């Protein structure tokens, strides 16, 4: 829990800091995303404005990079890094990046596992004499959710690596600006590491409770 709170604080502080540092080129996040997509031959992928704060994402079904207002119109190092990161996901999708395909295909299973794990485990926990086996079923379902978090890690880190590489290769950031972009993206990636750690911790807690109940 503390690790998750630390990760959230880290990404918030990094975003606030580098959202106040304008890029030397002065281009917006939307312009960066459009330029990178076009240069990668992905002119059919749309760049759209979405509501909320830090709600940026790539929608593979609609083939659209959606950027929050601060990123879409912003010209800070934080905005450019986030826009390029989501473009990295679009490139992963276009090139059939294995980890992304695996995550997308595994998502329905993970979603089912997340929704069913705790009800099944609690039912087995409360009625251990007759339905104790449901604790094992619940743990198995929760394993699917944990695996989804693990699969997400290489997807996010790869998108960030692609982002920095594309920004530099296309001359959208200067060499001395790379550290700022990396700081934002590394902080964001830490939240996924924290989410994975929390999921693993919860899995171990369920196993411990199962063993104590039996």
Q: What is the pLDDT of residues 160-193, one digit of tens each?
A: 999 999 999 999 999 999 999 999 999 999 999 9
The CA distance from 151 to 98, in Å, is 10
Look at residue 110 and give its three-state secondary structure.
helix
pLDDT of residue 206: 94
Beta strand residue intervals within the chain, DSSP E: 46-50, 57-59, 64-68
- pTM tops 0.85: yes
pLDDT of residue 8: 84
- Local confidence band at 5 (pLDDT 50, 70, 90 cut-offs): confident
Catalytic annotation, pick one of 86, 156, 165, 176 = 86
pLDDT above 90: residue 6: no
- Residue, of 214 and 37, whose pLDDT is higher: 37
pLDDT above 90: residue 17: yes
- Local confidence band at 130 (pLDDT 50, 70, 90 cut-offs): confident
pLDDT of residue 7: 85
pLDDT of residue 179: 95
* Non-local CB neighbours of 185 within 8 Å, separated by 6+ positions: 81, 82, 85, 160, 163, 164
The CA distance from 27 to 17, in Å, is 18
Question: Are 88 and 159 spatial neighbours (Cβ–Cβ below 8 Å)?
Answer: yes
**86 counts as catalytic:** yes
Residue 127 exposed, middle or buried by CB count within 10 Å (0-12, 13-18, 19+) = exposed
pLDDT of residue 83: 97
- Local confidence band at 1 (pLDDT 50, 70, 90 cut-offs): confident
- Local confidence band at 54 (pLDDT 50, 70, 90 cut-offs): confident
């Amino acid at each position: 829990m503390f690790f998750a709170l630390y990760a959230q604080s880290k990404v918030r502080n990094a975003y606030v800091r580098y959202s106040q540092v304008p890029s030397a080129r002065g281009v917006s996040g939307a312009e960066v995303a459009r330029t990178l997509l076009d240069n990668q031959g992905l002119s059919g992928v749309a760049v759209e404005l979405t509501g909320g704060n830090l709600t940026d994402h790539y929608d593979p079904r609609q083939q659209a990079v959606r950027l929050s207002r601060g990123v879409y119109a912003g010209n800070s190092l934080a905005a450019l890094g986030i826009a390029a990161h989501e473009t990295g996901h679009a490139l992963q999708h276009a090139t059939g990046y294995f980890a992304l395909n695996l995550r997308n295909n595994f998502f329905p299973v993970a979603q089912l596992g997340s929704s069913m794990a705790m009800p099944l485990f609690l039912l087995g926990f409360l009625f251990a004499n007759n339905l104790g086996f449901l604790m094992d079923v619940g743990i198995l379902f929760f394993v699917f959710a944990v695996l989804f978090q693990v699969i997400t890690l290489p997807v996010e880190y790869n998108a960030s690596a692609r982002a920095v590489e594309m920004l530099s290769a296309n001359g959208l950031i200067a060499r001395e600006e790379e550290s700022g972009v990396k700081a934002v993206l590394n902080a964001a990636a830490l939240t996924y590491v924290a989410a994975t750690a929390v999921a693993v911790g919860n899995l171990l807690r369920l196993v411990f409770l199962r063993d104590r109940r039996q």
